[in-house]
């Protein structure tokens, strides 16, 4: 038996290769860039309005009715305002703040006109333009609040008699 042969020669070379590979793996670096994109939104706010605002009997002439309230509630202090848009009825020709109310079907005559005035005496824009132009909004503020609107009508002598309706949608905007 000869004792001068290395017993672990293959294993030592394998171990050296593993160390060399491991050493090279640690010295190599790689980088990557990740673009993060987020959209920050305003905390949601809710609007509370009456389901209906009954105006009762409308007689020829102009008349204002009792005000109704709209309440804005937000989860935190948030700059907001309201804007209005006609849903039922049509914008009175040449105006942005009056609605020709829908009268009884099949009738002719001058439709009753409705408009809303805020507590500062400003007539509310009803064409929906407040969605993109905050100067056309109303009930501006940063905290929870209740705003009052006064409905007014103009009824002509030839306004069709019967049930007359207009629907206005109120929306909250975040300037």
All residues at 6 or more sequence positions from 69 whose CB lies less than 8 Å from its CB, including other chains? 50, 146, 147, 148, 149
- Asked if the structure places residue 29 within a domain, the reply is no
Running along the chain, 175 residues long, what does each successive block of 10 average in pLDDT? 43 42 59 85 85 94 97 92 97 97 92 97 97 95 96 97 96 92
Structure tokens at 43: 């905390």
142 located within any domain: yes
Distances (CA, A) of 136 to 40, 76, 132, 152: 24, 24, 9, 19
Supply the pLDDT for residue 152: 98
Question: Does any domain span residue 17?
Answer: no
Quote the pLDDT of residue 158.
Answer: 96
Query: How many domains does the chain divide into?
Result: 1
Domain span holding position 95? 45-173
- Residue 42 has a pLDDT of 61
Q: Report yes or no on 84 lying in a domain.
A: yes
CATH number reported for the structural domain that contains residue 74 in this entry: 2.60.40.1090
Q: What is the pLDDT of residue 1?
A: 40
The pLDDT score that the predictor gives to residue 27 is: 58
Q: Is residue 104 in some structural domain?
A: yes
What is the Cα–Cα distance from 119 to 139, expressed in whole angstroms?
A: 9
What's the confidence (pLDDT) of residue 149?
A: 98
- What is the token pair recorded at 123? 């007539």
């Amino acid at each position: 038996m000869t004792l001068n042969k290395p017993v672990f020669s293959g294993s030592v070379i394998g171990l050296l290769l593993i160390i060399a590979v491991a050493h090279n793996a640690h010295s190599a670096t790689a980088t990557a860039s990740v673009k993060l994109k987020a959209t920050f939104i305003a905390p949601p706010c809710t609007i509370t309005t009456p389901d209906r605002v009954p105006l009762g009997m409308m007689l020829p002439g102009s008349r204002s009715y009792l005000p109704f309230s709209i309440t804005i509630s937000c989860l935190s202090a948030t700059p907001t305002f309201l804007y209005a848009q006609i849903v039922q009825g049509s914008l009175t020709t040449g105006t942005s703040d009056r609605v020709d109310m829908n009268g009884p079907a099949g009738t002719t005559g001058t439709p009753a006109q409705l408009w809303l005035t805020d507590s500062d005496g400003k007539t509310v824009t009803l064409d929906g333009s407040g969605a993109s132009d905050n100067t056309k909004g109303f009930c501006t503020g940063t905290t929870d609040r209740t705003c009052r609107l006064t409905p007014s009508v103009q009824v002509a002598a030839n306004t069709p008699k019967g049930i007359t309706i207009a629907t206005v949608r109120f929306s909250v905007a975040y300037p």
